[in-house]
Structure 1
Amino acid sequence: MFTLQNFEKQLNAVMLQRGKQYHEEGAVAELEENAGRWAAEVEGTETYNISVMLKNDKEIVAYHCDCPYDGAICKHVIAVLFEIRDELATRIIVPNKGAKKNQFEDLLLKISADEYRVFIKDYALSNKDFKRALELFFAEKDGRIDTGKLYADSIKKLIKKHMAKGYMDYRSAAGLAKEVNQLIDKGFDFANKRNFVEAFVIAGVVLKEMMQVITYGDDSSGALGDAIFGTIQLIDQIALSVDAVMDMKTRVFKFLQAELSDAVYFDYGDFGYELMDIFQTLAIELNLHQEFLAWIDAWLPRLTGDYGSYRLEHFKTTKIEFLEAIGRHTEAEALIELNMEIVEVRQAEVDKVISSQDYERAKKLINDGIKIAEDKRHPGTVSQWQKQLLRIALLENDVPLTRKYYRAFAFDRQFDVKYYRALKATYDAEEWGKIVEDIIAGIKTETTKKHGKRTWHPFDSYLLSALSPIYIEERFTDRLFELVKNEKDIDRLMVYHEHLVFSYAHELLQLYIPALERQADKADNRSHYAQLAGNMKKIMKALAFGKEQVIELAKKLKQKYPRRPAMVEELNRVIN
């Protein structure tokens, strides 16, 4: 439980100290409370608004700060928690018997309705933000209020607040997203109450404005994108709700039809593809088939060149899926025949013919796919198709072919233990002993050939990388050590520690000591020194009997490099 009594024990020490300093310097102002809801202002580089919700004046249920910090809890909230705790302690020690709740609430009770109206009217004239907030809060009471414009104005103001010289940096983008997310949450509240009209007004405004922001804002943190995806989820909830009337769904459909004609939704992330799914679902539900197909057909000529190839394939496959979903199978088949170069289209056909056990037809489709991929120089796609051939070999119980592909995939660019074990499982123990030796011999031959072209690295290092996965998997510990003992790099040596330590602990230490010294000789900055010290500590922990040898090396290095104070500092941490 996160409470006023224990929050200090659960927070980052640095952030806690900063918050405490703000509190002690009197940066917290305007602290007010209403039925467990606390509000305050904290004066930092700017003045920030903080809200905290307590349960029984103890448990911290929720908190919020409008600063741009995107971590779990900021120093401003922490400062307010200290302030609240002090305030509650004061109340306990010196109870105010005459006060019901607080001075502000007492004042509200004394003001008449007419006085409220006069004040609100006068204050709204001088404070547009107050007027806008009031209109949005009570919009349901007056159908003439254009909430879309009010929400748009609010977001534009937030954007302006977080921009500087036409640009929005990383922290500002995170700050904007934080405030916009509050508006999105309000949209979800409306949707949960089945007020889909108001929820969609918010979703539409937020989506359009934020899609513009993401074109120039620094979204390194992903906060802007997350806000947009949150809006898409809101639209999805509205569009697919069983409680939404058809007119509402049609309104969403037309909105998406218009918005998704803008390439920005596809240029800056997967937003367009997510919205397409909603658009397609609505087209089927609303029987607006031609409208959806016309939208796709309008896009297809725009998708030219390599840049649009992925998008073009996606739109074509979507059209095929849509035609099949609405029962226009003849048209879908015609499109399939025209677009068999698209992997997804061909894969769907392969799945169909495999399901009907027409394996020869499936093999032809796959082999044609391999040729297309080879012509395009797409080795990943070639491998994908070969795995489909393995799939068929398994279905046909073709053991030689199954072994061929298992072996190929086990050593395809890098070792794959899944395929290696699958290959091993196709042999009995005696057979496998011969096979694994054959594999090792082949790897040695191949590595020797490759090393002739890459003489800048020792042959033993190449051989270690190539054979160590097999030696580890087969528990050929002695063979593994024979390769490892020729390695000079400490980081590469320590990779194999856990596989050798039970049989070669003392031998490993004798390899580590000179390797650590070589690492020290090459180190030339604080980061390198820290890595050196880190390796020393790991070795002392893993090989307790060698602790003194490592410490002696650290002392030796201090004497060897007395003019490297940063190295000496790191080594002292090892010694002490």
Structure 2
Amino acid sequence: MVDWQSLFEPRILERGLNYYQRGHVAELIEEDGVISAIVTGSEDYEVELDFNEEDNLGLYCECPYAAELNTCKHMAAVCFAWEDGAKQAAPAFSKSELEESVAATDEATLRAFLLEILQKDQGLAQRFMGKSQKSGTDGNAADPYLQVNQIVNRYTDYSGFINYDRAFGFASDLSEFLDTVAQQLIAEERYHEAFELTNTVFQTIGEVEIDDSNGEIGFLGNECYEIWQQILSLVDSDMKQKMFAWFSRQLDELEHDFLLEIIQQVIAEEFQEFDFAEQKLRRVEEMLEEVDKQEDFGRDYSLAFWGTMKAELLDQLGKPEEEIEAFYRSMWDNSEIRQSYIQRCINQQNISRAIEVLKESIVLDKEYRGVVGEYSTQLKDLYLELGDKKSYVKQLYRLIYEDDPGSLEIFIELKQLYPADEWLPIRENIFKQLAGEVELDDLYVEEQRYDLLMAEVEKSYLLYKTQSYLPILKDRYPERLLEKYKKEIRSMLYESSSRKKYRGIVYLMQDMKKIPDGKKVLAEFVQELRATYPRRPALLEELECV
């Protein structure tokens, strides 16, 4: 069974188990090694577990937290459901039996037992608090500021700081608070209160002093985002207007960079109705003016973010093409804006214009090799789409020699254009031209040029590359590999003097046993080291483990 739990941080694992135990996993289906399910919560998300890769587990979820390449609670919930076979164990006692037992127990015993259980399980405690608030005389939830502050105070020290050891508990309790109280309010259609409560949590995590080494702030910020999405899907236009106004204000008031990015994402991706387009455009223009005055390192990124949004809004509002084109040109020095314009041209099937701008961008951004490589790849794909084979092949050669030198993907794409006899001299020329400039190891493996690969391994630093290609080379070049191991281990020992380093070196020496005749050579090598370093008792002791 795959060790899936090691893929999750402890707090995520705990939240996933809580979700599973509370019945949030639905429609669990297994087909051809892929398990899919719907996880309900602040939003319904589709989750997939892919077991098709040997000894690996592919995880996918639609939620915003997973979109940032994180493993989320929804994934964990489905993993728990899969492991348990999605079968709830039969209860030990029936409902009627429990009712009889409760009826036969005096009130003092019941209260003491309930208090004991709630103190041990914060999740149940939050649910109970929600139930007790619901049954209160005024029918209103307690002041959200008070409830959130109680959680904050529970974990802060005398100086108002939440340290590393307490950060997990803080995030878990606040997350449980959102999952229970906010969801209760939403279920009762008290959307405004749910929104205010979620906002309180969001603003609190932006102000609290915390050791965020494990990403608790990002985790909670994305929890808030999920609840906002749920509320937006349920409320009328008047409530949406109030929500938009609040998000808009946060752009000026928030100081926490990551949380500010979440607010920007909400404004960009939500409120897609036409009624909000003009409002969003005015706010975006204000942000562009403000960002343009900045001189920090994030200026270009912010200009690209708001500029791209403005272009999309101009399009949504049906503005003349000349106006949209003029706006793009006004920000032409920003490569992200040009990328947005190129994509717009492609979407409009104006391929010739996209090619023209890509060529211009290669010149404008010539100092940034990675960006140029992206432009060049796009250009290659567009030539292929147009059926311009001559330009397509020319662009492939430019990529392999200049813009993305040594790329295995481009190498294989080029190889597929030629018969085997024509390809050989082209391949050798590529190796000759690029040798010494970029690593060609993957290309050597692709072409089974193990002689060239072995030569690179021998020249490589320490044993990192040697270990990587040991399975491929050990039966072809055993003597040379064993000499490489001995050479590098001698060098490492010359510079090492601690038991910890000796232990690491001895661990590396075990690889020699995997090579033909390696056990014999290793035994002789150990004797050599014992003779060379007779006054290093720690090394001699570690060598006993070989």
Aligned to 2:165: 171
CA displacement at 1:435 relative to structure 2: 0.9
Asked whether the equivalents of residues 475 and 516 of structure 2 are also in contact (C-alpha less than 8 Å), the reply is no
Aligned to 2:210: 217
Residues 313 and 471 of structure 1: is their aligned pair in 2 closer, same or farther, counting only changes over 3 Å?
closer
Deviations 1:186-219 (A, max 9, x none): 1235435644344323212111111212xx3221
- For 2:162, what is the secondary structure of its paired residue? coil
- For 1:524, what is the secondary structure of its paired residue? coil
Residues 358 and 210 of structure 1: is their aligned pair in 2 closer, same or farther, counting only changes over 3 Å?
closer
2:525 to 553, 557, 560: 553
- For 2:417, what is the secondary structure of its paired residue? coil
CA displacement at 1:562 relative to structure 2: 4.6
Aligned to 2:356: 364
The letter of the residue matching 2:369 is P
The answer to whether 1:518 aligns with 2:476 is no
Tell me whether 329-338 or 309-318 shows the greater mean CA deviation.
Answer: 329-338
Asked whether the equivalents of residues 266 and 272 of structure 1 are also in contact (C-alpha less than 8 Å), the reply is no
- For 1:496, what is the secondary structure of its paired residue? helix
Instruction: Name the CA distance, whole Å, in 1 between partners of 2:405 and 2:502.
Output: 32
Aligned to 2:309: 318
Residues 194 and 368 of structure 1: is their aligned pair in 2 closer, same or farther, counting only changes over 3 Å?
same
Asked whether the equivalents of residues 135 and 145 of structure 1 are also in contact (C-alpha less than 8 Å), the reply is no
CA displacement at 1:497 relative to structure 2: 1.8
CA displacement at 1:442 relative to structure 2: 1.9
CA displacement at 1:236 relative to structure 2: 0.9
Aligned to 1:403: 393
Aligned to 2:225: 232
The letter of the residue matching 1:277 is A
- Structure exhibiting the larger radius of gyration computed from Cα positions: 1
Instruction: Name the CA distance, whole Å, in 2 between partners of 1:371 and 1:479.
Output: 35
Residues 327 and 189 of structure 1: is their aligned pair in 2 closer, same or farther, counting only changes over 3 Å?
farther
Instruction: Name the CA distance, whole Å, in 2 between partners of 1:155 and 1:253.
Output: 23
The answer to whether 1:567 aligns with 2:505 is no
CA displacement at 1:418 relative to structure 2: 0.6
CA displacement at 1:139 relative to structure 2: 4.4
CA displacement at 1:350 relative to structure 2: 2.9
Residues 319 and 229 of structure 1: is their aligned pair in 2 closer, same or farther, counting only changes over 3 Å?
same
Instruction: Name the CA distance, whole Å, in 2 between partners of 1:220 and 1:280.
Output: 33
Aligned to 1:39: none
Asked whether the equivalents of residues 471 and 479 of structure 1 are also in contact (C-alpha less than 8 Å), the reply is yes
The letter of the residue matching 2:431 is I
Residues 404 and 171 of structure 1: is their aligned pair in 2 closer, same or farther, counting only changes over 3 Å?
farther
Query: 1:279-428 residue pairs with structure 2 within 5 A?
Result: 279-281=270-272, 284=273, 287-303=275-291, 304-306=294-296, 307-329=298-320, 331-354=323-346, 358-374=350-366, 377-410=367-400, 412=403, 415-428=406-419
Instruction: Name the CA distance, whole Å, in 2 between partners of 1:505 and 1:559.
Output: 25
Query: 1:55-204 residue pairs with structure 2 within 5 A?
Result: 101=101, 106-108=105-107, 137-139=132-134, 142-143=137-138, 145=140, 147=142, 150-164=143-157, 165-186=159-180, 187-191=182-186, 194-204=189-199
Residues 363 and 246 of structure 1: is their aligned pair in 2 closer, same or farther, counting only changes over 3 Å?
closer
Asked whether the equivalents of residues 174 and 224 of structure 1 are also in contact (C-alpha less than 8 Å), the reply is no
Instruction: Name the CA distance, whole Å, in 2 between partners of 1:427 and 1:110.
Output: 84
Asked whether the equivalents of residues 409 and 419 of structure 1 are also in contact (C-alpha less than 8 Å), the reply is yes
Instruction: Name the CA distance, whole Å, in 2 between partners of 1:202 and 1:196.
Output: 10
CA displacement at 1:476 relative to structure 2: 1.7
Asked whether the equivalents of residues 405 and 434 of structure 2 are also in contact (C-alpha less than 8 Å), the reply is no
Instruction: Name the CA distance, whole Å, in 1 between partners of 2:451 and 2:463.
Output: 20
Instruction: Name the CA distance, whole Å, in 2 between partners of 1:488 and 1:317.
Output: 44
CA displacement at 1:182 relative to structure 2: 0.7
- For 1:508, what is the secondary structure of its paired residue? helix
Instruction: Name the CA distance, whole Å, in 2 between partners of 1:336 and 1:172.
Output: 48
The letter of the residue matching 1:293 is L
Asked whether the equivalents of residues 300 and 334 of structure 2 are also in contact (C-alpha less than 8 Å), the reply is no
Asked whether the equivalents of residues 148 and 174 of structure 2 are also in contact (C-alpha less than 8 Å), the reply is yes
Instruction: Name the CA distance, whole Å, in 2 between partners of 1:209 and 1:487.
Output: 51
TM-score, normalised to structure 1's length?
0.66
Instruction: Name the CA distance, whole Å, in 2 between partners of 1:422 and 1:298.
Output: 46
Query: 1:232-271 residue pairs with structure 2 within 5 A?
Result: 232-239=225-232, 241=233, 243-264=234-255, 266=257, 270-271=261-262
Asked whether the equivalents of residues 311 and 324 of structure 2 are also in contact (C-alpha less than 8 Å), the reply is yes
Instruction: Name the CA distance, whole Å, in 1 between partners of 2:509 and 2:533.
Output: 17
Tell me whether 172-181 or 514-523 shows the greater mean CA deviation.
Answer: 514-523
Instruction: Name the CA distance, whole Å, in 2 between partners of 1:363 and 1:532.
Output: 54
Residues 361 and 507 of structure 1: is their aligned pair in 2 closer, same or farther, counting only changes over 3 Å?
closer
Tell me whether 263-272 or 226-235 shows the greater mean CA deviation.
Answer: 263-272
Say how many residue pairs are matched.
Answer: 444
Residues 496 and 360 of structure 1: is their aligned pair in 2 closer, same or farther, counting only changes over 3 Å?
same
CA displacement at 1:166 relative to structure 2: 3.7
Unaligned runs of 5+ in 1: 2-9, 13-49, 56-70, 74-98, 117-129, 451-464
Instruction: Name the CA distance, whole Å, in 1 between partners of 2:149 and 2:22.
Output: 33
Instruction: Name the CA distance, whole Å, in 1 between partners of 2:406 and 2:500.
Output: 31
The letter of the residue matching 1:554 is V
Tell me whether 471-480 or 358-367 shows the greater mean CA deviation.
Answer: 358-367
The letter of the residue matching 2:173 is E
Instruction: Name the CA distance, whole Å, in 2 between partners of 1:552 and 1:532.
Output: 16
* Identity in percent: 21
The letter of the residue matching 1:387 is T
CA displacement at 1:267 relative to structure 2: 5.5
Instruction: Name the CA distance, whole Å, in 1 between partners of 2:441 and 2:22.
Output: 58
Instruction: Name the CA distance, whole Å, in 1 between partners of 2:382 and 2:288.
Output: 35
The answer to whether 1:498 aligns with 2:471 is yes
Asked whether the equivalents of residues 341 and 369 of structure 1 are also in contact (C-alpha less than 8 Å), the reply is no
Query: CA RMSD for the aligned pairs?
Result: 4.2
The letter of the residue matching 2:176 is Q
Unaligned runs of 5+ in 2: 7-17, 24-72, 77-98, 112-124
The letter of the residue matching 2:231 is I
Instruction: Name the CA distance, whole Å, in 2 between partners of 1:54 and 1:105.
Output: 28
Asked whether the equivalents of residues 206 and 254 of structure 2 are also in contact (C-alpha less than 8 Å), the reply is no
Instruction: Name the CA distance, whole Å, in 2 between partners of 1:402 and 1:228.
Output: 45
CA displacement at 1:181 relative to structure 2: 0.7
Instruction: Name the CA distance, whole Å, in 1 between partners of 2:106 and 2:406.
Output: 75
Deviations 1:125-178 (A, max 9, x none): xxxxx9xx868833465557464xx22112123223322324332222222111
Larger RCO (alpha carbons 8 Å, 6+ apart)? 2
